[in-house]
Amino acid sequence: MNIDLAALNAGTLWPEYIVTITLIVVLLVDLISGRKASWSLPYLALLGLGIATATLLPMWILENPVSFLGSFTADPLSVVFRAFILISAALTVLMSVRYINQSSLATAEFYVLLLGATLGAMLLSGSSEMAMIFVALELLSITSYLLSGYAKLDKRSNEASLKYLLIGAASSGIFLYGMSLLYGFSGGQTQLTEIAPRIVNLGFPALLSLVLVAAGICFKLSAVPFHQWTPDVYEGSPTPVVAFLSVGSKAAGFALAIRFMTSAYPGFSEQWQTLFVLLAILSMVLGNVVAIAQTSMKRMLAYSSIAQAGYVMIGLAIGTQEGYSSMILYIGTYLFMNLGAFMAVVLFSLRTGTDEITAYSGLYQKDPFLTLVLSLCLLSLAGIPPLAGFFGKLYLFWAAVQSQAYTLVFFGLVTSVASIYYYVRVVKLMLVKEPSPQVLAYSEAGDQDGIQTLKAGMLITTVATVVLGILFPPLISLADTSLRATPSLQQVRTATPVSRVSTGAQAPADHGR
C-alpha cells in the first residue's frame, strides 16, 4: 500500500506527540536517576503539558484539519476540547504533587498514567473514525482504571477500581457492539461522515446502533442511568484522579458525543436529541436530589458532577449553534470551578485526613484562604452571580429558551434551586463558629514541599472562576468561531438569526402603539 505522506497531514498531532514525549521522558528520568529525581517529575509533566498547549494554539483554524487519512480531525472543536483536557491535566498535576508524596505512592507511574489518560482523552476529542475512537476511548479508560486503583493499600480504592473496570468494560463492549452494527449497516465504512449518508434510510436498525453507541458515551458522561459507578469511584479513588475524571474525562466524552452524533447520525437528530433531553432531565433531577443527602464531600461532588453533566447535556439536547456554544462554555467554566473545589478538598484532606462534610465546620477561623476558595467554587457551581457558573448557566438556559425547550429550562431552574441548598450548606458549615474536632486539630505546621503548587492551582482556578464572568463575551465569540469553522457542524441550524439580540439598549422603545 502506498501512502502519500503529505496526505497524512501528521503535523496536526503535535500536541499529542509532545504529551507522548513527556510521558517517555518522565518514565526515563525515573528509571535512570530513581528516587533522587522524583521531585522533578511533576514539573517535567507540567512543562510538557505547557508546551503541548502552546503548540495547540497555532492550530486554532487549519486549512486542512483532516489527518491520518481521516482518522483524526483537528478542527477548532477538537482544539477547544484538547485545550480543556490539557488545562485540566495540568491543574491535576498541580494538586497531586503533595498528595502523592504524602500518601507515599510511587511518583513516576502516577504521572505517566495521568499523561496517558490525557493523551487518550485528547485523541478521543479529535477522532473521526470508529477504530480510532475505540482505541482512544480504551486508552483513556484503561489508564483511568489504573489511576482509580492507584492507592492499592486502600480498600476503597481497590473497590473503586474494580467497579469502574467492570462497568467500564461492559459499556465499552456495548459501545463496540453499536459500532460494529454501524460498520455493518454502512457496508463497511468506518469514517463517521461516510456512514451518515448510508444509514439515513435505515430506520430501526440505525436507531438500535444509536442507542448502543449513546449508552457507551453516556457512561463516560456519567449521565443517569449510566451513572452508578460515579459516586463509588469518586469516593474511593485518589482525589486528584477524581478531579481529572470529573473534568478531563468528561470533556473528552462530550467532545465524542458532539462529534459522533452530529457526524454519524445527522439524519436522526430528532431521535438522539429526544434521548438526550430525557437523559439531561434524569441527570439534573437525580444528581441534585441525591446530592442533598450526602455526608461525604467527595460523594457530594460526585452527584453534583452528575447534575452538572445534566446541565451540559441541555446544550447537546437542543442541538443548535447556541446550544453547542453554551455547552463548550459551560464545560470551560465547569473546568475551573470543579477543579478549584477538588483542590480545596485535597488540601483539607491532606491536613485533616477526612472528607466528611461536617468536618469542615468552623474552618473559617483556621484557614480563611481555603474557605474562600471552596466557597467561591461551590457557589459558582450553584450558579450564584457574579461568578462564572452563573453566566454559564444563564447562557445554557437562554440557548434552551431560544429553541423553545421549555421543559429543559423548567427542570434546569427547579433543580438549580435544589442545588443551591446543598452547595450553600457546605459554605454555611465552614462559616459557623463551632469548629469540628478535625478543625480544632487543624495545623499548617506539617506542610512541606508541594503545598505551594497546590495553592498556586487554587489561586488560578479561583481567579478564573471570578473573572470568567466578566470575560464572557470574548469567550462566546471564541466558542462561536470554533463551531462555525468546524465542518461537521456546518449544517447545524441556528435557532434564530444571530442579530436577534441586539447589542444596544439605545434603540428606541416602541411603546407608543
Partner 1 sequence: MLSVLIWLPVVGALLVGLWPGASAARLRSIALAFATAGVLWSAGLLWQFDPARPGLQFVEFIPWIAPVGLHYSLGADGLSLPLIALNSLLIWIAIYSNAYSGERPRLYYGLLLLAGGGMAGAFAAQNLLLFFLFYELELLPFYLLIFLWGCSEKRGYAAMKFLIYTAVSGFLILGAFLGLVLLDGSSSFAYGEQSTAALPLITQLILLTMLLVGFGIKIPLVPLHTWLPDAYCEASPPVAILLGGVLAKLGAYGLLRFGLGLFPETWALVAPGLATIGAITAVYGAFSAIAQRDIKRMVAYSSIGHMGYILLAAAAATPLSLLGAMLQMVSHGLILAILFHLVGVVEAKVGTRDLDVLNGLMNPIRGLPMVSALLVLGGMASAGIPGLVGFVAEFLVLQGSFAAFPVQTILCVVCSGLTAVYFVILLNRTCFGRLDNATAYYPPVRWIERTPALILAGIILVLGVQPEWLSRWSEVTAESMVTPVQSAANQPKMPAAAASLSPN
Residues that bind partner 1 (CB under 8 A): 322, 325, 364, 379, 384-386, 390-391, 394-395, 397-398, 401-402, 404, 406, 409-410, 413-414, 416-417, 420-421, 424, 427-428, 431-433, 472-473, 476, 480, 498, 500-507, 509-511, 513
Asked if residue 436 lies in contact with residue 365, where contact means CB atoms within 8 angstroms, the answer is no
Asked if residue 102 lies in contact with residue 511, where contact means CB atoms within 8 angstroms, the answer is no
CB of 477 to partner 1, least distance (A): 8
CB of 493 to partner 1, least distance (A): 16
Cell numbers that stand for 477 in this block: 465569540
Asked if residue 351 lies in contact with residue 443, where contact means CB atoms within 8 angstroms, the answer is yes
Neighbours of 186 (CB within 10 A): 22
Query: Measured from the CB atom, is 134 or 390 closer to partner 1?
Result: 390
> How far, in Å, CA of 302 to CA of 242, rounded?
9
Q: Which helix (H) or strand (E) holds 415?
A: helix 406-431
> How far, in Å, CA of 150 to CA of 154, rounded?
9
CB of 62 to partner 1, least distance (A): 25
Asked if residue 359 lies in contact with residue 438, where contact means CB atoms within 8 angstroms, the answer is yes
The total number of residues written for the chain in this structure: 513
Nearest to 108, CA basis, from 223, 25, 167: 25
Indicate the angle between helix axes 155-185 and 192-199, nearest 10 degrees.
50
CB of 372 to partner 1, least distance (A): 9
CB of 511 to partner 1, least distance (A): 6
Query: Measured from the CB atom, is 36 or 433 closer to partner 1?
Result: 433
Nearest to 292, CA basis, from 424, 422, 429, 423: 422
| Helices (H) then strands (E): counts for the chain | 22, 2
What are the CA-CA distances from residue 413 to residues 283, 396, 410, 416 (Å)?
14, 11, 5, 5
Query: Measured from the CB atom, is 147 or 312 closer to partner 1?
Result: 312
Query: Measured from the CB atom, is 234 or 397 closer to partner 1?
Result: 397
> How far, in Å, CA of 473 to CA of 177, rounded?
42
CB of 18 to partner 1, least distance (A): 34
Query: Measured from the CB atom, is 39 or 410 closer to partner 1?
Result: 410
Asked if residue 230 lies in contact with residue 222, where contact means CB atoms within 8 angstroms, the answer is yes
Query: Measured from the CB atom, is 68 or 391 closer to partner 1?
Result: 391
Query: Measured from the CB atom, is 271 or 481 closer to partner 1?
Result: 481
Query: Measured from the CB atom, is 272 or 364 closer to partner 1?
Result: 364
CB of 424 to partner 1, least distance (A): 6
CB of 77 to partner 1, least distance (A): 18
Cell numbers that stand for 469 in this block: 464572568
CB of 343 to partner 1, least distance (A): 21
Nearest to 336, CA basis, from 387, 396, 283: 387
Residue 72: beta bridge partners?
67, 127
DSSP 502: -
Cell numbers that stand for 491 in this block: 449544517
CB of 421 to partner 1, least distance (A): 7
Phi and psi for 296 in degrees, rounded to 5?
Answer: -100, 135
Query: Measured from the CB atom, is 134 or 391 closer to partner 1?
Result: 391
Query: Measured from the CB atom, is 201 or 499 closer to partner 1?
Result: 499
